[in-house]
Amino acid sequence: MKRELNPSETNSIDLYKILVSAVMPRPIAWVSTTSKDGVDNLAPFSFFNAVSVKPPILAFAPALKEHNGKPTEKDTLRNIRETGEFVVNVVSRDLVEKMNQTSFDYAPDESEFDAVGLTREPSRLVKPKRVAESPINFECRLYQIIDFGREVQSGSLILGEIVMTHLDERVFKNGKIDMAELNPVGRLGGLWYCGIGDRFELKRPAKKRENAE
């Protein structure tokens, strides 16, 4: 027996809980932006993925939050609308605590880099700084924003074109990313996360080209 659930008859908190516990594990984009006043912002987003190679596009989705009783854009979305630039930093296992701390709702004039003690590293082609401690950084220029609504919990899909990639040689060896060395984390439902402890290889059906996705 499967229980039917119509999203239009389900409150958004229950729907959120179902979505984040069913669509998982999710990768985490640790997104740095700079406000038009020059404040360096940093926040994690697990509604995230790579969605195109040509052009190379990353996508993630901040939701509107409630502030003073009104739906309000998170700093990351506002900064990207205003500046058109961001950096996606990859979160390895050793960074997960600091990543979590940057999800606190700091005031727009307070930098998460300083609040949690992370090192700013200049980017090559965009203004937002990179997280020096993160092993992989993607400098992105805004490609498109798709707003799904104007209520609290409405998402805005931010698509960014990668214009520069930085790969730490500890994790990038012989043209490949060493999974064990990267030690990535995924987001599950509730307050749960996962590492890459239980992993396995699965051969694709025969006759596939070797480098096909």
Ligand X SMILES: Cc1cc2nc3c(=O)[nH]c(=O)nc-3n(C[C@H](O)[C@H](O)[C@H](O)COP(=O)(O)O)c2cc1C
Query: Residue holding tokens 């390895």?
Result: 92
* Residue 60 vs 166, nearer CB to ligand X: 60
Exposed e or buried b for every residue in 73-107, given b needs 16+ CB within 10 A?
Answer: bbbbbbbbeebebbbbbbbbeebbebbebbeeebe
Three-point CA angle 40, 46, 51, nearest 5°: 100
**Residues 26, 16: Cα–Cα separation, whole Å:** 14
CB of residue 1 to ligand X, shortest distance in Å: 32
CB of residue 145 to ligand X, shortest distance in Å: 14
Which tokens sit at 206? 């025969």
Residue 84: HSE in the Cβ half-sphere, 13 Å Cα cutoff: 5
* Residue 43 vs 118, nearer CB to ligand X: 43
CB of residue 118 to ligand X, shortest distance in Å: 14
Residues that bind ligand X (CB under 6 A): 28, 41, 43-47, 61-63, 74-76, 100, 103, 105, 187
* Residue 104 vs 170, nearer CB to ligand X: 104
* Residue 60 vs 182, nearer CB to ligand X: 60
CB of residue 20 to ligand X, shortest distance in Å: 9
